[in-house]
Every structure is written in C-alpha cells, then in structure tokens.
Copies of this chain bind each other. A is one copy, B any other.
Amino acid sequence: MKSLGIVTPQSMHFAEPLPLQSGASLAGYTLVYETYGELNADRSNAVLVCHALNASHHVAGTYVDAHTGKKQIGWWDNMVGPGKPVDTDKFFVIGVNNLGSCFGSTGPMHTNPATGKPYGPDFPVVTVEDWVHAQARLADELGIKQFAAVMGGSLGGMQALSWSMMYPERIRHCVVIASTPKLSAQNIAFNDVARQAILTDPQFHGGDFYSHGVVPKNGLRVARMLGHITYLSDDDMAEKFGRDLREGKYQFGFGIDFEIESYLRYQGDKFSEYFDANTYLLITKALDYFDPAKEFGGDLTKALSETRAQFFVASFTTDWRFSPERSREIVQALVNNKRRVTYAEIDAPHGHDAFLLEDSRYMNAVRAYYERISNDLEVA
C-alpha cells in the first residue's frame, strides 16, 4: 500500500480567547495539526480525526518524534492514507492536537501569558466540548464549513459525537468507535486512582514540577500501567502473557517474576519518559466530565435530537473499558431520533485497544462506510 511518507505538522495561532465550559477562558493559543490528501474545489471532502488519551495530531504517515528525534508512524496510519479505509486519495484528512496536550498545541508546559511562566496547574480544565469548539475555529480558518465526516475512537469518538450535537450543520457523517456516551463509576474510579498516583507523587509539586526541574515519573508510570490493563482484554492478556515467567521460575522477591509485569513496567517506564503529568490529569478529567445527556436529565435521546449527521458506530466484543453495551446506548438513542445509523459490533480479541489495531472485519466496515461517503461526494 502506498504511504503518505513524511508529513510536516502545521500550526495555527488563535489570538481570540476561547471561552471554556468551566467559565474560565484560554488566552491566545496555538493548535498544531497535520493534513493528508487534497481539499477538493467545493471543500466538501474534509475529514477531521480526533485523538484519544495519549495520541496526537500525528494520525498518518511518518513524522519525526520531538522527544526521541526518531521517525515514527502515525497512530492511525493503518486507517488513514492512500487506498486505506479513510482514503486520502479521496478525502482531505485533518489530524489536530487538542488543547492541554503535551504534543504541540497549547498545554500546561507552555508559557502562561499572564505570568510569563509555564501554566502548570493553572492551565484550565478543558472539556470535550471545549476541544470541539477549538477544532471548529480551526475549521473556520481552513475554510471548511462542513466536514464530510468527523471521526474518532474512544475519547476521540466522544469528540465526534459532540461535533454532531454542537455543530449539527457542519458534519455530514459522524464516526464513533469504541466509545461511550459517558464514563461509568468504574471508569471514573480507574481514572481517579491514576490521578491520585500522580497528584501524590512528591515530584509533582502541585503541578509546578517544571520549575523544580523534575518529573513525577513514578506517578505517571503507575497511571500508565493501570490504564494499560484497562485497554487490553483479560483473554488477550492471558493469550499473550498468561503466567509466563521471565526466568522460568519464581524469584521470591519483588523484581520481575511474570512476563506481564515486565511488559507493563516497560510500558509505564516508556510513557513516563515522554508524557506530561498535567496533561494526563487534564485528559482524564475531560473523559470523566463527558456526559452530553446530563443537561437533558440523563436522556441521551433528547441530547442527540438536534443532530443532523448520519452515524457509523463500532464497538469490540472484548472491550471492557467501553463495552459494546455502551455503543448500543448511542445507537438506540440515534434510532429513537430516526437518525440513519450503521452499527458494527466487531468480534475482536484485543479489548479497547482493538480500535487502533488491524482487523479485516473492522477495517472493511470502515472502508465500506467511507466508500458510501465518497460516492455521495461524487454524486454531489
């Protein structure tokens, strides 16, 4: 398959403050983004890809990692590119990094114009809706009045769903994968344990660790290890690691006995080297706060009643973080509103992470849906 090759990120500065859901506002800010493919003459083929917890605007193609200096592949390169399910020969695809991130868009490690020092803990708590608002401004600047589709997995799917509610006229198709209309108590509980690991790490310094020249690595490491467990299915972990021992026998100590320990600690170590602790806190809060039905007395059908898009919703059978049942709630609420909705429940072993992985049934379902979008483009 053809590759997009090296992609150069772009950035756009916004001088006008962004009013936030919290009541605070963010002064002038920058969004970094990447684009793939060409915007057509009537600007009708744009697709916005929203990212999840620890991803970024590096959706497809190859980029040079700011931290390691090494070439890296975009996180959804299997999904987006020439001839791929989201075909960049047909669509103009935008990957945008969200506010509060640590990958380029304005975040806690950037200078707070009010103080001349890094925002740190003063970076405002941002929500999914705030991100969508900021993304809409980027679309304005890029001259995109209406997206052919807005899509995302997990937290990215929440942004796509928000687009359909906040800007119903600006999105023809909404693609929501491995997502949920709101976090459960258990989801929130896992997030809060991760946050507590960071907040109580003495190196966190109340979020002001930048000025101390340290990083709360231990907290980030535990947070990531825990998160990682929830991204994999029990069965997949059993299949990949089982009770395999690193040294073939018990060590009777607290080093590494099991391969699963080695794997998780490695993932935690790696993450703590590059991810920002304040960003982790912010993004988990955005997850916890997402609940579009809240202002409608918990009625998701009402929350989705103003949508105009067509929907593609997908879930994965072994995803216990955001189980198929949660996607079905979205589908049911859309059906209640007589929206046109395609739902794929994929029998996949890889848990929540399945939305990032190669799986022919999943990829074919997305491909078929985008072919329909593309056919509509040509007819129009």
Chain A: residues with CB nearer than 8 A to chain B?
21-24, 124-125, 182-186, 188-190, 192-193, 195-197, 199-202, 218, 221-222, 225-226, 229, 232, 234, 237-238, 240-243, 250, 252-254, 257-258, 260-261, 264-265, 268, 281, 285, 288-289, 291
Contact = CB atoms under 8 A, between A and B. Distances in A.
B238 A218 contact: no
A72 to B, nearest CB: 26
Contacts of A291: 243
Nearest to A22: B252
Closest 6 CB pairs of A and B: A22-B252, A200-B218, A185-B237, A125-B252, A185-B241, A185-B260
Given A238-B185, A238-B186, A254-B199, A193 B288 contact: no
Contact of A285 (B240, B254, B288): B254
Contacts of A124: 252
A24 B252 CA distance: 10
Contact of A238 (B184, B240, B289): B184
A241 B185 CA distance: 6
Nearest to A260: B185
A182 B229 contact: no
Contacts of A258: 185, 188, 192, 288
A197 B222 contact: yes
A273 to B, nearest CB: 15
A285 B251 CA distance: 10
A221 B243 contact: no
A272 to B, nearest CB: 10
Copies of this subunit = 2
B234 A184 contact: yes
A193 B252 contact: no
Contacts of A254: 195, 199, 281, 285
A200 B197 CA distance: 11
A184 B237 contact: yes
Contact of A186 (B23, B197, B229): B229
A258 B250 CA distance: 41
A196 B268 contact: yes
A218 B264 CA distance: 20
11 contacts: A184-B243, A185-B237, A185-B240, A185-B242, A189-B261, A189-B264, A196-B225, A196-B268, A202-B202, A226-B226, A254-B285
A218 B197 CA distance: 8
A242 B24 CA distance: 27
Contact of A225 (B192, B234, B242, B260): B192
A201 B196 CA distance: 13
Contacts of A221: 196, 200
Interface centre among A221, A222, A234, A240 (most CB of B within 10 A): A222
A289 B250 contact: yes
Nearest to A195: B254
B186 A200 contact: no
Contacts of A182: 243
Contacts of A242: 185
Given A196-B225, A253-B125, A234 B188 contact: no
A186 to B, nearest CB: 5
Contact of A261 (B24, B192, B257): B192
Contact of A234 (B186, B238, B260): B186
A125 B250 CA distance: 11
Nearest to A206: B254
B188 A261 contact: yes
Nearest to A242: B185
